[in-house]
Structure 1
């Protein structure tokens, strides 16, 4: 998705002009350097960023770039994150600010990144932050609204419009209706048309007249709809493998990488959604188990096991599966405060640990593609849970799992032992109704337990 044609040069010039009008007294070397960084840095992969910084340090020797002042916007973004139960991660804020800078200089742009990289929440948080700033009258911002369309969920005719096969009358498509509504709206609010779906040469080529300097959508009916000055076309895509160079050169790029965020912000937001009667100690225990066992389990999965279906490299989707399984087995049955009795409170740590190990087995371990790899994960998880990884444990590849990132310093310890490997147990109920009896089981049956009955 890298492009260095004349359109990219024009974007740099527009950014430099905007900065010059905003800071007329500043050094032009600094303004030009900032414009180059603002337009280009956001599209680079993480391993290309040091190379880019080395190039600009050679081109602008001795030029020290002052930090951009986005204090008011960052304050509004913090408020937006709080409203949406999101975590104010520094990388997420950086990419959201880069998205804003790209929206200012390009009317068409693409947010590129694999699942769980934060693409959707990035523009939603930015839209809410700009609206909050507009309500307070900060920096001359205006409210922002966005309209989301999935271009691959419907046919080309339903997207742009087509002649009815029976009556031969023209019928507008979904995108044509949304685009016309935004173009004809006279309000000063920012309007974003978000196309959330894969980009391919079939439907995206019709957008070329919108994305270049014409800024016009040309329909087969002969109607031409001009884009207003407050509109932006935003494409949310996973990759640009089949996009043509003509399309790529017309769009600004903001690239997000899922490994920069990881699974932990999702976990913290997930814990915040627990019912209020789950106390802080309960949530800290759950988060401690995640921090202790999940990173090393994902590393073992990547290094030693063959998966039946590919998962994300940083393991965020298996982490989400772990969260959903844990919630269904323990949190949902205890959603009523009356279900947590005094007897159950005494054994709560045991229930938390047992449920977590089961959920971890069927999320990370459940990705294994064969019984042989399931047995490998069983051996590994027992070693990790019993704190034997530092005693020379090694996987089939010879890899050891005794690094500081594998065994976090000061991690919590297990509150209950695992059942012996030669005596598989099927749990009939994770949390007994009203806490009247312990966890039941049958020896010799290793099938997964049924979900617990609600208390």
Structure 2
């Protein structure tokens, strides 16, 4: 830098050149407080050198002209920053414009762009002033492949990314025009490292396909960032730096510009009013902001400029609303005081927690005594009646009366309160002038309900078209963009927006849920920030810019905690922030008493109606106490109770009919049952369950004033409509005849086994029957979804199959095959949605944790649970099929068959008929993580925790599975007790093993069934071995008997032959004597002959 300055000014003193270079390189990046220190150091190093302040002449003059043309303020610190940016651009190819949100970074480079372009249009002699074109992109709103380009894995074809396409086009330009590529987003090592060759002397972008794009010297890389916390030193050292602070800018330039811009018409807003409102800003804003930052709490932090902007936004609405001020100057000032007081309270205090609002109320009153805000309540409890009386009135005057409509869906019931009325008014006010909003507050306070109800009312009036986006940990930037684009209408080649005469409100729920990347960025949020700032989007693939008009964003999220991240202030700064308070006990009582009173007034007995107050107060008391005493822990991650749970209890009570609840005792049992189903069923241990039972008994005695048998009341909690499934009218009732219930369930099981090849060998012990009733209760409810949590082999899927069959519904479950992926899953879901929405079939869709091979499955289910639809699921041909299929249903229900109405009815039918049943295992941390990342799993599902099988259930199962074993009854009973004892003692040993060695050994129902099966197999084996030995011994014994018989026979034969043997012996002896005699005679003859022969010789 010093070298280039010396070459430009060869006659200048080298010390002076060096000082100028150091100042140019360092002053732009220093904070205001550090500048005197830097100047002192320079003075110490070069005490004898005096540097004349550099004069910028036409540049500075033109900057001021541009600011004046834009009605911006000639704020000296800001003008200096524009000049510093110009100087830095002259010596650096890459520049980082750093500063907190609201410090004027964007306005800074846009002002410099317009200044340089204007000077070139005037043919300025300085050739450094050339026409400037800028291209703005957010590098974190897209993936690395979409940013720099990538090879398609299927076709092996190269596709340019946004940055590579932009730089390629800019590098191919000719002429002297300057091109600035503005990277408006977080700088981190994930993407900026690829820019190192761009930012060094090579000025070359190297792509993954081997291409090298040589950039022109006329180009510049500008990085607009909030901070450099995760930027690498290698990148930072290659860039120039200009730092802007929000403190230097402050809020005053914005207010002056706002007054000058919006109040030009003297007739609409007289000079006296303009001066008065400027005075009010000067007198009150700093006091309010200081008090808020010091003594108040915001769930989501805001900036000073953001709060002031909110005040201005509210005031804009009232100015347009009134169309002018009349009367004397004092009357006009008084009116401005009142309006400003209300805007001041909500602009600064709207983002505060309720306790802080109460504190801030006093500041409002102290600053605006002339407004005469009534003192009965806080300033937030009044609105200013601008139409008629021009005074502050209580919001209660604006709260409409609630009338219960029995034909209306429970989910369409909205009981207006002062809180809902005031926040709906704020929302409608800001939407009318197309200002974005952000609603925060604890989970379950009614944020989504207020927004949805307001949008529904505005849609009914025909001027708002809502787009609902529900976010989770798996929400991606492309999916968010597709959710927006599919509802937009093309107006021109590059212009999109709402239908003629309408505006679009994009409702983004759980906006802080998307997963945070390694260095803290959230791509979906960065995409929405780009959309909010630049009023448009890049079309993915082609990377052509599309302008979007008549569109506003409404964000909603609970405060950061757990899986909820802190959203970048650069996004939230653009939104008007509101914190909804948790409803007081009185407000809750008003809401749910209105519904309960209306419901019980549809034909229930008077003595039942008299228990309305007791049931509501008891439910609210449970909610308050369970929040205080049963806090979530890693093992109890689902102990997340909110107002939705109170609503679910009331919804359950509203499933009954007057004919089934005819006395106080039955109604009390109904209330206990619904409280158990909502709160008790998710408890995981006996200690918590005992605590809950004691609380229920206390409330029955205190509020219901009824006596009950403490030993049996909880065993009698059996409600359902399973006994009425064959009746024309099915209703939720108390089941007093347990034997009849068991008989019905066995009959249903037998019918199932007869009609299905996959037979179920179920044992309907008491716990299993209770789970069946719990599942049946949920499947009866519209939007009824259930999450069954239990170890493998608990019978979760089998019980759902049985209940689904008995209710005449379709059972659906994905079959994982080779190549089954996210697209396959979405096609499967699409089929289910068509069946439930067009054919109106009741469907139980069962999903187990082992079938979730991709977290995107849960993302789709999360959307389905929350809104009843999945973004970008339906193709044009699917939409035509839905229109043709649902239109007759619209006609039948006397609904005007517009496209919007048909689509809305389709979604409602899907939510009514498609029931998601999740079967999850609590083993490991997978479920805990998923519940944190996907809030709808807890918020939109009834949770049923499957505990260990009790001893009686274990024995019943053993008896069932040993029934086909050929043993005596007493032996079978002993064997059942034996295997039950084996299992329970093993469970105890496993628990001890875990406590002492911190190692987990799982003893599951599957283990128990395997034990019984092993026993039966071993018994069969041993019996076969004994039988084989028995047969072997019997065969040997038979052989011995045969041998003995043969021996005896031979002996008898010998005895029979004995006389003959004796006679034969005698005959033989006689013959032997005879032979001997004959032999002797022969020997005599032989001797005689021999003698004669001798003589003859």
Normalised TM-score (structure 1): 0.82
How many residues were matched structurally? 401
1:189 aligns with 2:177: yes
How far apart, CA to CA, are the structure 1 residues paired with 2:232 and 2:373? 55
SS of the residue 1:367 aligns to: coil
Q: Which moved more, 1:120-129 or 1:28-37?
A: 28-37
1:418 has 2:370 as partner? no
What SS class does the counterpart of residue 241 from structure 2 fall into? strand
Equivalences for residues 160-199 of structure 1 within 5 A? 160-199=148-187
1:107 aligned partner:
93
1:115-137 Cα shifts (integer Å, max 9, x gaps): 01111011110111111111223
Q: Report the Cα offset of residue 255 of structure 1.
A: 0.7
Question: Which structure has the higher relative contact order (CA within 8 Å, separation 6+)?
Answer: 1
Q: Does 1:257 align with 2:241?
A: no
> Match for residue 367 of structure 2?
384
Q: Deviations over 1:370-398 (max 9, x none)?
A: x3322211122222334xxxxxxxxxxxx
State which drifts further: 237-246 or 21-30: 21-30
Q: Which residue of 2 aligns with 1:3?
A: none
Segments of structure 2 that go 5 or more residues without pairing to the other structure are 398-417, 433-1097
Aligned mate of 2:386, from 431, 442, 446:
431
Give 1:257 deviation, angstroms. 0.6
Taking the TM superposition and a 5 Å limit, the aligned residue runs for 1:392-411 are: none
Q: Which residue of the other structure, out of 30, 48, 55, is the alignment partner of 2:16? A: 30
Distance in 2 (alpha carbons) for counterparts of 1:58 and 1:165: 62
Q: Structure 1 residues 439, 66: CA separation in 2 closer, same or farther (over 3 Å shift)? A: same
Q: Name whichever structure is richer in helix by fraction.
A: 2
Alignment partner for residue 55 of structure 1, among 17, 41, 47? Answer: 41
Other-structure match for 1:325: 314
What secondary structure is seen at the aligned counterpart in 1 of 2:237? helix
What does residue 8 of structure 1 align with? none
| Secondary structure of residue in 1 paired with 2:72 | coil
Q: Pick from 300, 304, 308: which aligns with 2:299?
A: 308
Show the 5 A alignment for 1:27-176. 27-138=13-124, 139-140=126-127, 141-176=129-164
* Partners of 1:424 and 1:443 within 8 A in 2: no
1:287-339 CA-to-partner distances (Å, cap 9, x unmatched) read: 11111111111111111112222123xx11111111112212x12213xxxx4
Question: Structure 1 residues 185 and 366 mapped into 2: Cα distance closer, same or farther (>3 Å)?
Answer: same
Take 2:347 and 2:299, find their aligned partners in 1: how far apart are those partners? Answer: 12
User: Which residue of structure 1 lines up, in the alignment, with residue 289 of structure 2?
Assistant: 298
Corresponding residue of 1:355? 339
Asked if the contact 1:39/1:101 (under 8 Å) is kept, the reply is no
Offset, 1:38: 0.7
- In 2, Cα distance between the equivalents of 1:128 and 1:32? 31
State the distance in 1 between where 2:347 and 2:252 align. Answer: 16
Q: Is the 8 A contact 1:425 1:444 kept in 2?
A: no
- Alpha carbons of 1:80 and 1:430: their partners in 2 closer, same or farther (altered >3 Å)? farther
Q: Which moved more, 1:140-149 or 1:440-449?
A: 440-449
CA contact (8 A) 1:425 1:442 kept: no
Whether the 8 Å contact between 2:203 and 2:214 is mirrored in structure 1 is yes
Is 1:224 matched up with 2:176? no
Once residues 361 and 308 of structure 1 are traced to their aligned partners in structure 2, the CA distance between those partners, rounded to angstroms, is: 17
Do the aligned partners of 1:159 and 1:176 also contact (CA within 8 Å) in 2? yes
Task: Name structure 1 gaps, 5 residues minimum.
Answer: 1-13, 387-413
Match of 2:1014 in 1: none
- The separation in 2 between residues aligned to 1:441 and 1:344, in whole angstroms, is 23
Q: Distance in 2 between matches of 1:76 and 1:373?
A: 46
* Offset, 1:440: 6.7
Measure, in 1, the Cα distance between the counterparts of 2:209 and 2:262: 52
How big is the shift at 1:47? 2.6
Structure 1 residues 347 and 204 mapped into 2: Cα distance closer, same or farther (>3 Å)?
A: same
Partner of 2:537: none
Q: For 1:417-450, what per-residue CA distance to the aligned partner results, in whole angstroms no more than 9, with x for missing partners? A: 2222458786566421xxx654473486765383
Question: C-alpha separation between the residues in 2 aligned to 1:341 and 1:299?
Answer: 32
Residue 340 of structure 1: aligned partner: 324
Q: Give the whole-Å Cα distance in 1 for the aligned partners of 2:148 and 2:191.
A: 9
- Which deviates further from its counterpart, 420-429 or 145-154? 420-429
TM-score, length-scaled by structure 2: 0.35
Aligned counterparts of 1:21 and 1:137: Cα–Cα separation in 2 = 25
Q: Could you say which residue in structure 1 is the equivalent of 2:278?
A: 287
1:365 corresponds to which residue? Answer: 349
How is 1:224-243 mapped onto 2 (pairs within 5 angstroms)? 224-243=212-231
Q: Provide the C-alpha distance between the structure 2 equivalents of 1:294 and 1:428, rounded to a whole number of angstroms.
A: 20
CA 1:167–1:89 in structure 2 vs 1: closer, same or farther (change >3 Å)? same
Question: Over the residues paired in the alignment, what is the CA RMSD in angstroms?
Answer: 2.3
Distance 2:121 2:88 in 1: 23
